């Protein structure tokens, strides 16, 4: 059965990989992303994908998103909360309060506002599903990234509370905790570290994977496949869980 899917930050990275995976299976997907050019490219990539340019930290932008969603999909079965920012890489004592508030505004408040609007629609679904993207930093502390780690831990409590409140309506709620994901962003990070440290790209890759049992970066397609499983018929009793997909990582770095 075709599902109606909303993905925040759906125009790039894991979000876009998930959007294309759902669309390829015949589901109708609406993406929300702050990057207008990326939204246009994503919408042009598949007939089952529509989109809105959205800043989830702004209530009026979230309202406009749901107006668009109603026009495009007319309902909702699956909400995937991907939107988030990392913020500056600095020790806690050096983090500007404005930067702290910006991280919370998107990662926590934005996720709350989108989810709050989605709940009445999900209650009308026969198999409502909420998947919220946490992180390896939502399982471990993350040195010099206190805002990011705090919000990713906060999303665990957010999703767990939703599982308790919404289970009676058949709605599931889980968090996914990816490790380092392969792709252009990771390539750029490793290249930057190699340049800064005067080392090779291979050395920085090995260093990045040293805390993992499986020495591979995570494939975004695998994360998408996990989300599709959770939204499918065999995921209906999986709720309130924290699902790592990180090669058995021992720390966030």
In a domain, 168, yes or no: yes
Domain shared by 139 and 206, yes or no: no
For the chain, what is the domain count? Answer: 2
Q: Encoding tokens for residue 81?
A: 């909360």
Residue 80 to residue 108: CA distance in whole angstroms: 14
Catalytic annotation present for 169: no
Q: State the pLDDT at residue 192.
A: 65
Selected catalytic residue, list 16, 22, 142, 148: 148
In a domain, 250, yes or no: no
In a domain, 251, yes or no: no
Domain shared by 173 and 231, yes or no: yes
In a domain, 191, yes or no: yes
Tell me the backbone φ, ψ of residue 129, rounded to 5 degrees: -140, 130
Q: State the pLDDT at residue 236.
A: 97
Domain shared by 195 and 165, yes or no: no
Per DSSP (E only), the strands in 73-227 are 78-81, 129-133, 172-178
Domain shared by 16 and 62, yes or no: yes
Task: List the domain range (segments joined by +) for residue 208.
Answer: 182-217
Q: What is the mean pLDDT of each run of 10 residues along the chain (253 residues)?
A: 96 97 98 98 98 98 98 98 94 96 98 98 98 95 93 98 98 94 74 75 75 84 97 98 89 75
Q: State the pLDDT at residue 203.
A: 75
Domain shared by 22 and 48, yes or no: yes
- pTM, to two decimals: 0.94
């Amino acid at each position: 059965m075709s599902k109606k899917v909303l993905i925040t930050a759906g125009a790039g990275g894991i979000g876009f990989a998930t959007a294309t995976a759902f669309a390829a299976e015949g589901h109708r997907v609406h993406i929300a992303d702050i990057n207008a050019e990326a939204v246009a490219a994503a919408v042009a990539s598949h007939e089952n994908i529509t989109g809105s340019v959205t800043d989830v930290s702004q209530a009026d932008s979230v309202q406009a998103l749901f107006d668009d969603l109603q026009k495009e999909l007319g309902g909702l079965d699956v909400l995937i909360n991907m939107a988030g920012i990392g913020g500056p890489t600095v020790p806690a004592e050096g983090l500007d309060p404005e930067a702290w508030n910006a991280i919370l505004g998107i990662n926590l408040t934005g996720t709350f506002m989108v989810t709050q609007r989605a709940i009445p629609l999900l209650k009308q679904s026969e198999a409502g599903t909420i998947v919220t993207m946490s992180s390896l930093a939502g399982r471990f502390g993350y040195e010099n990234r206190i805002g990011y780690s705090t919000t990713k831990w906060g999303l665990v409590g957010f999703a767990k509370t939703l599982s308790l409140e919404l289970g009676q309506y058949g709605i599931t709620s889980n968090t996914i905790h990816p490790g380092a994901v392969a792709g252009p962003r990771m390539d750029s990070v490793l290249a930057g570290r190699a340049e800064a440290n005067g080392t090779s790209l291979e050395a920085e890759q090995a260093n990045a994977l040293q805390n993992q049992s499986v020495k591979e970066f995570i494939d975004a397609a695998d994360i998408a496949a996990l989300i599709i499983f959770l939204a499918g018929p065999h995921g209906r009793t999986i709720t309130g869980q924290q699902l790592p997909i990180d090669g058995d990582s021992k720390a966030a770095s």
